[in-house]
Chains A and B, each alone.
Chain A
Amino acid sequence: MSYDRAITVFSPDGHLFQVEYAMEAVKNGTTAVGIKGQKTVVLGVEKKSAAKLQDQRTVRKIMKLDGHICLAFAGLVADARVLVNKARLECQSYRLTMEDSPTVEYISRYIAQVQQRFTQRGGRRPFGISNLIAGFDADGTPNLYQTDPTGSHTSWKALAIGRNAKSVREFLEENYEESNTAEEKGDEDAPIKLAAKALLEVVESGAKNIEIAYLKPGSGLKMVPADKVAAICKEIEAEKEKDKARGKKKKST
Chain B
Amino acid sequence: KKAMDLSFFNDPHSHFQTNPRKELQKQDAQILKDISAPISTRFPLYQSPDLTKHSAFPKLTDKGGQRYVSAVNDKIQFSHGTTTLAFIFNGGVLVAVDSRASMGSYIGSGTVKKVIPISRHLIGTMAGGAADCSFWERNLAMQCRLHDLREGKRISVAAASKLLGNVVFQYRGYGLSMGTMMAGWDEKKGPALFYVDSDGTRLKGNLFSVGSGATYAYGILDTAYRMDLDEKQAIELGKRAIYHATHRDAYSGGTINVFVIRETGYEQMYKGDMNELHYGQYMEEAAAEAKQ
The residues of A with any CB-CB pair to B shorter than 8 Å are: 97-100, 106, 139
Contacts and interface: CB of A to CB of B under 8 A. Distances in A.
A97 B160 CA distance: 9
B275 interface: no
B151 A97 contact: no
Interface string B186-228: 0010000000000000000000000000000000000000000
B45 interface: no
A139 B186 CA distance: 14
B156 A100 contact: yes
Contacts of A106: 151
Contact of A100 (B159, B163, B166): B159
A24 to B, nearest CB: 32
B247 interface: no
A98 B188 contact: no
B162 A97 contact: yes
A106 B159 CA distance: 15
Contacts of A100: 156, 158-159
Nearest to B160: A98
Contacts of B163: 97
17 contacts: A97-B159, A97-B162, A97-B163, A97-B166, A98-B156, A98-B158, A98-B159, A98-B162, A99-B156, A99-B158, A99-B159, A99-B162, A100-B156, A100-B158, A100-B159, A106-B151, A139-B188
Nearest to B186: A100
Nearest to B188: A139
Contacts of A98: 156, 158-159, 162
Contacts, number: 17
Interface residues of B, number: 8
B140 to A, nearest CB: 13
B137 to A, nearest CB: 18
Contacts of A99: 156, 158-159, 162
A97 B163 CA distance: 7
Contacts of B156: 98-100
Contacts of B166: 97
A106 B151 CA distance: 8
Nearest to B165: A97
A139 B188 CA distance: 9
A43 B200 CA distance: 43
B260 to A, nearest CB: 25
A130 B55 CA distance: 66
Nearest to B152: A105
Contacts of B162: 97-99
B145 to A, nearest CB: 16
Interface string B30-61: 00000000000000000000000000000000
A106 B147 CA distance: 12
B144 to A, nearest CB: 12
Given A98-B156, A98-B162, 10 more contacts: A97-B166, A98-B158, A98-B159, A99-B156, A99-B162, A100-B156, A100-B158, A100-B159, A106-B151, A139-B188
A97 to B, nearest CB: 6
A96 to B, nearest CB: 8
Nearest to B204: A99
A166 to B, nearest CB: 33
A178 B159 CA distance: 42
Contacts of B159: 97-100
Contacts of A139: 188
A139 B151 CA distance: 15
A98 B155 CA distance: 9
A98 to B, nearest CB: 4
B45 to A, nearest CB: 53
Contacts of A97: 159, 162-163, 166
Interface in B125-146: none
* Leading 9 A-B pairs by shortest Cβ distance: A98-B159, A99-B158, A97-B162, A99-B162, A99-B159, A100-B156, A97-B159, A100-B159, A97-B163
